[in-house]
Chains A and B, each alone.
Chain A
Amino acid sequence: MVDKISKDIKENVEKFKNTFKDADDLVYRNIKIGKKNKKEAYLIFIDGMVDKSVISDYAIEVLFDEMEIDESNLDSYKTSLSEKISEESIAVHDVKEEDSYDKLVDMILVGETVLLIDGSDKALILSTRGWPTRGVQEPQTETVVRGPRDGFVETLRFNTALLRRHIRDPKLKIKTLQVGRRSKTDVAVVYIEDIANDKIVEEVINRINKIDIDYLPGSSALEALIEDSYLSLFPQLENTERPDSAAASLLEGRVVIIVDNTPFVLMVPATIGTLFQSTEDYYSRWPIGTLVRFVRILSAILTAVSPALYIAFTAYHPGLIPTAFTLYLAASRVNVPFPAVIEAFLMEITIEILRESGTRIAGPIGTTIGIVGGIIIGQAAVEAGIVSPLKIIITAITTISFFAIPSYEWASSLRIIRFAFMFLAAVLGLYGLMLGIAILIVHLAKLESFTVPFSAPYSGLGLKEGDLKDTLVKAPIQKLKRRPQFTFPKDKTRMK
């Protein structure tokens, strides 16, 4: 049984006051409408969540000007009191009628204002949402040299607007869901109807609907709740703060998930190919884009494998590297008291500690300080003879390569893998490292992102259709006539 409000306003107000006991930011504004018959009315809203000028100017002031509220006139019009008022006497841009008590409570909590009228069994919901919010700024984690500088904000409705600015297509669908028993966070699932594959959209909506949790902190929590394999080291969704990235992924046939209260939106499905793409590629010329993509792949390999290779070659197989290099390596390690394995682990752990302490300091500056500090400490360590200089260089290469990878989550997974590889190399040398790589390959092949294989396009899906043109290299835009295949888009052509 839906709990309805009664016609008696005093009863209604009491009910609200009871529900919101000890919530002192609720405002109960008592007004009398009508110059002649003076109907009693209440406006209920939460101070701080509403745009107060809308209430004062477009609700209260207009209602005060109302000439008369006379129920006797109503029958001839066959309208209800609330309807008449909403249609003729309120200047707020969006007004809805509602009789369910729970719904009214929800609406107050979202920042709307409830207008109770004595004698009416329906209340009016005035759209008055407004709260302190950040203006549109350039996202700090994804900057480009040449390109737009807007970024998503924390308000869902503004974010959807930013998306619509890029895609003015009526086929752009925005489906809103709510997640979280207590947080009731709005989650919007955005897709382009005649491009995105129905099954993927369905899968996304189903998974979100299945969530039963009391508070949704942000998009990373949502990511963990709906991804295929939350235990895996690798992210299976992409995220971005940039509307242009999100819009581009929509046009690839992907689904964008916007979560209220966070500027990071999710893009689904994600694959290894997409994780190496960055917005910068699309705003520079294509040869640079291609070169940069190769550099990224190289960096990913370096950051995962360099320390392990160092261990393998110094401790196990000095015969596998050229002689001059071997002798140099031996010479540089002559007075170092630690075995190569310990040296490697020490340096890596030191860098991790430095990185972590760097994040306590504000922004990217902190991280830079951390890394530079690391290198200085490393230098001191070399002077003191504790670590070999080559190891410092390797650590530096490893760390810097880490930052060349566009997706932070992906890079972080590689960090962990780096330690696993180091351990394997310490036990079984190069063979151990290759075993680790074999396991990694299988894991990547097994991983799926919303029914799309994660290792596409390198593992088969999309190879024939030319998906590599936008993942491994960056082909000029004239060559990218077809959409990438991995999302199974319905409309395959982009350009003629």
Chain B
Amino acid sequence: MKKLLVLLLISSLMLTSGCWDSREIEQRLFVTAIAVDINEEVQEGNVNRLIVTYKYPNINTIGKNSDGGHINFTLSVPASGISQASTAFMGEAPFPFYFKHLKVIIFSKELLEHEELVRHILDELNRSPQINKRARIAVTEGKARDVLKVTAGQEYRTEGGIYQVLRSNKFTNRFTVKSLTDLITDFDVAGVTIVPRISIVSGKFVVSGGCILKNYKFLAWVDQNHNRAINIMNGIIGLENIDTIYNGTLLSYAVTRGYSRKKVTFDDGITVRFDIKLQGYLQGYNISQKNQVYDEKTLEDIENNIEEELEKKILETRKFLDEIGAPLFGVGEHMSKFHPKVWKQVKDNWQEMMPEVKFQLNIDVNIRRTGLTK
């Protein structure tokens, strides 16, 4: 009898109070991408200084019973923060929003000129337990919401084409993949970071090159070549093509693997030696009787050519970075780990000291394969 009472009590407790968090899965809207812009029309005193856009998939178009409609929907609203927008949407959207599957966050360049807004947004993203910290960041020159609108109609996968492109650096070196956590960590460690640039070109989106942010603000755009150099110096080496002129004709070399290491010595000021080793195969040269590359001397020659070309490009990038004051080669981070005592002394003046640091580039390119022909 006593056991019955206890059972009754427990089950009534469970049944009457209800299931607080339960929500049917098809009654949620899964936001896969967010775009943040500045709200130009805002008046003084209004906290809604952003225009936030959500993109979420149309689940009716997934799977067998697809009804062939729009694959994704977008909604924009003025808001004071990213999660605040979801309350603003309550009047329009049929279901509540769910952020755990967020994949991409796009900022507009305009937004990145307001430092405290950026800090506010990043803190919100970091603090929230609901936002997926692996979301990838990208920056666009124009309005971020336009990027989302453009892609909404053309994607063939529900997760989004942007995400697929931004996912990893394994296949490309033209931009640097950055996830939310990476971004925040970079700001902590070095104060500078580089983020992929996404643009709209004749109705489609393109990711190429990057955008340098410093101290939570926009600093400069970089094109693909500079970005590639930055990646290589930081040890991110994906599949890549390097084009040089050899013997008057174009030569293409494809990189498959490689590594890059740094070593810092202090004999006469700070010297950083970069050991970069690339492996790959010869992709294209010039089909003719006399241009056979199948002997060691020629290959070595070609390798040296590529190495020089690469070194040239890297030093160009370095000059560019020094001019804008963005130490992006990871030297500071390296020193903070391996030479902490020195780093402690220099870190406050690092920006001024960066140009004084001597670089020793030790590039070693290897052509491992020449393809099927000689």
Give A residues with C-beta under 8 Å from B: 313-316, 318-320, 323-324, 326-336, 339-341, 426-429
Contact = CB atoms under 8 A, between A and B. Distances in A.
A326 B30 contact: yes
Contact of B62 (A315, A331, A335): A331
Given A327-B30, A428-B19, A318 B100 contact: yes
Contacts, number: 80
B280 to A, nearest CB: 33
B101 A330 contact: no
Q: How large is the interface on B (under 10, 10 to 19, 20 to 34, 35 or more residues)?
A: 20 to 34
Contacts of A428: 19
Secondary structure class of chain A's binding surface, majority of residues: helix
Contacts of B22: 315-316, 341, 426, 429
Nearest to A319: B100
A320 B130 CA distance: 11
Contacts of A314: 24-25
Interface in B43-67: 57, 59-63, 65
B60 A326 contact: no
Contact of A318 (B30, B57, B62): B30
A323 B100 CA distance: 9
Contacts of B98: 318-319
B28 A427 contact: no
B14 A427 contact: yes
Interface string B227-245: 0000000000000000000
28 contacts: A313-B25, A314-B25, A315-B19, A315-B24, A316-B21, A318-B25, A318-B28, A318-B98, A318-B101, A319-B101, A319-B130, A324-B158, A326-B25, A327-B57, A327-B62, A330-B26, A331-B26, A331-B60, A331-B62, A331-B65, A335-B65, A336-B26, A339-B24, A340-B24, A426-B19, A428-B19, A429-B21, A429-B22
Nearest to B60: A334
Q: Is the interface of B mostly helix, strand, loop or mixed?
A: loop
B101 A323 contact: yes
B23 interface: yes
Contacts of B21: 316, 429
Interface in B4-30: 14-15, 19, 21-26, 28, 30
Contacts of B19: 315-316, 426-429
Contacts of B60: 331, 334
A330 B23 contact: no
A179 B61 CA distance: 68
A51 to B, nearest CB: 54
Contact of A327 (B59, B100, B130): B59
Nearest to B160: A323
B217 interface: no
Nearest to B20: A428
A295 B14 CA distance: 35
Q: Which 7 A-B pairs have the closest CB atoms?
A: A319-B100, A331-B62, A314-B25, A315-B22, A331-B63, A323-B101, A331-B59
Contacts of B59: 327, 330-331, 334
Given A319-B98, A332-B63, 12 more contacts: A315-B23, A316-B19, A316-B22, A323-B101, A323-B103, A326-B30, A327-B158, A330-B25, A333-B25, A427-B19, A429-B19, A429-B22
B159 interface: yes
Nearest to A341: B22
Contacts of B61: 331
Contacts of A331: 26, 59-63, 65
A319 B158 CA distance: 16
Contacts of A323: 30, 32, 101, 103, 159
A340 B159 contact: no
Contacts of A332: 63
A180 B32 CA distance: 71
Highest count of chain B CB atoms <10 Å: which of A319, A331, A339, A428: A331
